[in-house]
Homo-oligomer: A and B are copies of this chain.
Amino acid sequence: MKTDSVFKRAFNDAVDLVSRLEDGEPLPSENTLSIRLGVSRTTVRKVIASLRASGVVSGSGRERNVHPASEAMHRFPQDETVPMAAQVEERFMEWLLRDNARPGTAINELDLARKFGVATTGIREFLNRFQRFGLIEKRPNAGWVFKGFTTSFALELFEIREMFELRSARALATLPDSSQHWRQLEALRQEHLALLAEIETRYHDFSDLDSRFHRLISTAAPNRFIDSFYDIITVIFHYHYQWNKHDERQRNEVAIREHLTYIEALFSRNISMVELACRAHLSSARDTLLRSTSGQ
């Protein structure tokens, strides 16, 4: 059966929301909550019912009030709020990167299902979606093979990445001054400077900034296939960062400086400078990734 992770996440969000209100304030309407929590009214009503059962909300119908001080404001544990499919991804990446990284390893649906405590259909669905990342391959009627987080994987990934990014960066550089992008880019530059100033303590925050920066560039000329490729990059980097902590602070500092040069180049509207800065940054990012790949 379906898990109730949607309800639990909505419940936790509702608790957060209520705790920002004063005791006795009226509860927002069901429709309002539905929009704010991003779930249907059906689920909102379930949340309200639970909230009332634990005393956080009193009254009923049009007369509902909030009591945030209540000690009963428990939350559901984090991992009950994430749907099975998302958990599978996490566990699979962990399994792939930590335990079992050999290229050629057979991936067994039944085995994974048992390991992760889910039905085989959940695993199949995940593998089918994950296929596009280029790390696994299907043999009809005979399971999946892990192709390995190899050097050639990283090289192929970065060849495409460079093509796409150069094309987007050029498009950005030719955008009119009136475009919103310039303001957003300036804001990102400030974030980079702020992060650089506190690099010693905040260096983990770079991963997110990095992703937002490159995604901004790609929005200069939207293309669904490029966006979808960025999903791959994002996921690969996300897990790569989690996995390879070596030299993290220093690597990130270097990357921030490269980004700043890249941003300067974009503001200059000088295409060859943009290309230079873009290539320089990507090739250093590639080298970082290459250092943690295995053979071939």
A residues with a Cβ closer than 8 A to B are 6, 83, 121, 124-125, 128-129, 131-132, 134, 140-141, 153, 156-157, 159-160, 163, 167, 223-226, 228-229
Contact = CB atoms under 8 A, between A and B. Distances in A.
Contact of A167 (B129, B134, B163, B228): B163
Contacts of A131: 129
A42 B224 CA distance: 44
21 contacts: A121-B121, A124-B125, A125-B125, A125-B128, A128-B128, A128-B129, A129-B129, A129-B131, A132-B228, A134-B224, A134-B225, A134-B228, A153-B224, A156-B223, A156-B224, A157-B225, A159-B223, A160-B225, A163-B163, A163-B167, A225-B229
Contacts of A163: 163, 167
Given A132-B132, A163-B167, A167-B163, A225 B125 contact: no
Contacts of A224: 134, 153, 156
A131 B228 CA distance: 10
The A interface is mostly helix, strand or loop, or mixed, namely: helix
Nearest to A6: B141
Query: What 7 pairs between A and B have smallest CB-CB spacing?
Result: A156-B223, A134-B224, A160-B225, A132-B132, A128-B128, A128-B129, A156-B224
Tell me how many chains of this kind the complex includes.
Answer: 2
B223 A160 contact: yes
Nearest to A221: B159
A160 B226 contact: yes
A197 to B, nearest CB: 37
Contacts of A157: 225
Contacts of A167: 163
Contacts of A6: 141
Contacts of A129: 128-129, 131
A3 to B, nearest CB: 11
Contacts of A228: 132, 134
Nearest to A229: B225
A157 to B, nearest CB: 7
Q: Which of A125, A132, A225 has the most CB of B within 10 A?
A: A225
Contact of A156 (B83, B153, B160, B225): B225
Nearest to A147: B224
A134 to B, nearest CB: 5
Contacts of A83: 140
Contacts of A225: 134, 156-157, 160, 229
A223 B153 CA distance: 9
A126 to B, nearest CB: 9
A104 B128 CA distance: 25
A91 B128 CA distance: 20
